[in-house]
Structure 1
Amino acid sequence: MSSDRSDEHGANDHAEADAVPSIDDGRYLYCLVRVDESDEPTLETTGVDGEPVSVVTEDGIGAVVHACEEIYDSDDLAQIRRWLVRHQTVVDEAGEAFGTPVPFQFDTILQSDDEGVREWIRSESDTLEQVLSGLADHWEYRIEVVETEPISDEALIDHDERLRELDEQMSGSEDGTAFLLEKQFDQRLTEVRANRRESITADLQTRLDEHAREVHALERKAGASISDDIAGAGETDDGETLCRLTVLAHETDESSIGSVLDDVAAHDGLEVRFTGPWPPYTFAPELGGGEDATNARSQP
């Protein structure tokens, strides 16, 4: 199986094309789910490029797949994004139908038919059972704290002794000295704002830890990945993002997490954006690295 993608172009394009194998009868993998085989589970949706999706089952584990004969690669970024969004949509719909899914990365392909998928599930059954059981009824939630009304310099000066000292010194200094003091003041002001962001983040993480299994801090500005798109951009038109967090929690703890966030949102000038539940994109382990795995790009 493979989830590798390359963004390199130019001289590497021909070499990469030569390394991409043909796939006679492969299966594109979206996610794994827990199923009741007696019900012959199905998923009424279409996958990447409109392909029909099926659920291949073995011993209570279902792999959501579609049949494919090639990997999904393009120089058209808009096309790649459409594929990525469709991949995520299928995983989301599988979660609604069967419970918490374990997602595969985009472009993960097993170079085999349905029976090959069943054989892989059997060979990895111990690991897959552990992963599915561990994530059962757990979902990912994304949190973004945005400062819609930035705290004023005056308020920060009132709460920081060093800023007050520098402010007083500047008012009674000659131009040359005042210039140097102003640089120190601006540097200290930047530090105080950063410390405030870190304090808000740390306090929120500590409170969320009481209700979540895992809490991870993300970059304040979202990247280009689909999972980061869940939370939106880090810099918004109506404020500055103070922190972004991703949380893995049991579905019964969603209301408790919401209560913590309500307390944060009660502070003047702060807005909390809370999305989910989502499949555990951030917390699911990467699957398909064993001897039975094949790389759709480099397998000879």
Structure 2
Amino acid sequence: MSESPADFETGRYLYCVALDDEGTSLSTTGLDDEPVRVVREAGLVAVVHDCTSLYDSDSATQIQRWILTHQSVVDDAGEAFGTPLPFQFDTIVRGDDEALRSWLSDEAETLTDHLDALAGRWEYRIEIVWDEAAAREELEEADDELRDLAERREEASEGTQFLLNKQYESRLDQLVSEQRRAEAADLADRLSGEVTDLVDLGERSTVGLDIGGADEDVDVLARFSVLATDDEQEAVGLLLDDVAADPGIEVRFTGPWPPYTFTPELGGGDAPDEV
């Protein structure tokens, strides 16, 4: 984590790093309409704006506005230079351009290796929504143990009914959870065969920046982030068309996004400060 704002007189707010395409420029504005520019070193470009403090606010709306602007700048950089290595919101390199160039030079091999691995690949978010109520009804009809509990419940005294109800709901919740996990695992296996990389987000709606934000008022079967080329993305789309053919399933497929989920952490004392 960065130190307090008073601990640096000048810094560079770091949006992303990309492979340098000589002659390519970038014209956009960043947080609080700061002019964004690129700093070149060792075959790399760092997309930055000058800063003298961190970006901190008690307003969630303001922070979200900053995050969306950060994402927009990274998107613009991706269009200009190809797949970038995006950094988290409020990543600061303390010092001037020479300090930034020194960091780029020191980390050039690592950064270039990561960028080569990501080249031509983008992140896509997949959210599978299912009709959980319908799934519960089907399990109630199909499971012998649930049917037995239901029959016993009808003939039991009030106190025993209470206990049987708890057993019934616990059994049903277990079956629903098992079905969700099994179907999510099967889909993950199918998707993994079509993409460069896949991350199972589970119950998480976001990783890194809030891209492709999820609707929390729906019953989610599975959430994934995948890293894919254009050809792989087309194959994923065809696979998801088959998944969406199930009347109880809705598929949400968004992207392309910069590969936030697949950006490795940079270790070492010379890494930029992240908040």
Q: Same fold (TM over 0.5)?
A: yes
**What's 1:66 paired with?**
49
Structure 2: state its 5+ residue gaps. none
Instruction: Say which of 122, 129, 134 aligns to 2:112.
Output: 129
Mapped pair 1:117 → 2:100: yes
Instruction: Give the counterpart of 2:130 among 136, 139, 147.
Output: 147
Aligned partners of 1:250, 1:199: CA distance in 2, in Å?
A: 27
TM-score (norm 1): 0.83
Select the residue among 130, 138, 157 that pairs with 2:140.
157
Pairing partner for 1:268 from 247, 250, 254: 247
Deviation at 1:219, TM superposition (A): 3.8
Instruction: Verify: 1:20 aligned to 2:5, yes or no.
Output: yes
- 2:241 and 2:190 map into 1 onto residues whose CA distance is 12
Tell me the equivalent position of 1:57.
40
Note closer, same or farther for the CA distance 1:69–1:279 as it changes in structure 2 (3 Å cut).
Answer: same
> Within 2, Cα distance between the matches of 1:218 and 1:54?
34
Q: Distance in 2 between matches of 1:132 and 1:242?
A: 32
**Which of 214, 217, 226 is 1:232 aligned to?**
214
Uncovered stretches (5+) of structure 1, i.e. residues with no partner: 6-15
Offset at residue 69 of structure 1 (A): 2.0
Write out per-residue CA displacement over residues 161-204 of structure 1, whole angstroms, 9 at most, x where no aligned residue: 22122223223434433332222111111111111111121111
Q: Structure 1 CA distance, aligned partners of 2:42 and 2:208?
A: 31
Residue type of the partner of 2:12? R
- Count of residues in correspondence between the two structures: 275
Q: Which residue of 2 aligns with 1:11?
A: none
Structure 1 position 292 matched with structure 2 position 274: no
**Kept after mapping to 2: 8 A contact 1:143/1:231:** no
Match in the other structure for 1:32: 17
Is contact 1:220-1:242 (8 Å) kept?
Answer: no
Q: 1:137 to 1:229 in 2, by over 3 A?
A: closer
Q: Following the alignment from structure 2 to structure 1, what is the Cα–Cα distance between the partners of residues 61 and 213?
A: 20
Tell me what 1:10 maps to.
Answer: none
Is contact 1:142-1:231 (8 Å) kept? no
Tell me, yes or no, if structure 1 residue 97 matches structure 2 residue 97.
no
**In the aligned structure 2, how far is the partner of 1:183 from the partner of 1:73?**
47
Distance in 2, Cα, partners of 1:25 & 1:221: 36
**Structure 1 residues 186-201: aligned runs within 5 Å:** 186-201=169-184
Quickly say closer, same or farther: Cα 1:89–1:296, change in 2 above 3 A: closer
- Out of 271-280 and 143-152, give the one that drifted further: 143-152
The question of whether the paired residues in 2 share the 8 Å contact of 1:33 and 1:132 is answered with yes
Cα distance change on mapping 1:226 and 1:28 into 2, 3 Å: same
CA distance in 1, matches of 2:154, 2:137: 15
Give distance in 2, aligned partners of 1:201 and 1:252.
Answer: 23
Give the match for residue 238 of structure 2: 259
Contact 1:142 1:246 in 2 (8 A): yes
1:241 aligns with 2:224: no
Determine helix, strand or coil for the equivalent of 2:194.
coil
Percentage of identical aligned residues: 48
In terms of mean alpha carbon deviation, does 200-209 or 139-148 score higher?
139-148
- Flag the 1:170–1:296 CA change in 2: closer, same or farther, 3 A: closer
Shift of 1:227: 2.8
Match of 1:281 among 260, 264, 275: 260
Partners of 1:214 and 1:201 lie apart in 2 by 16
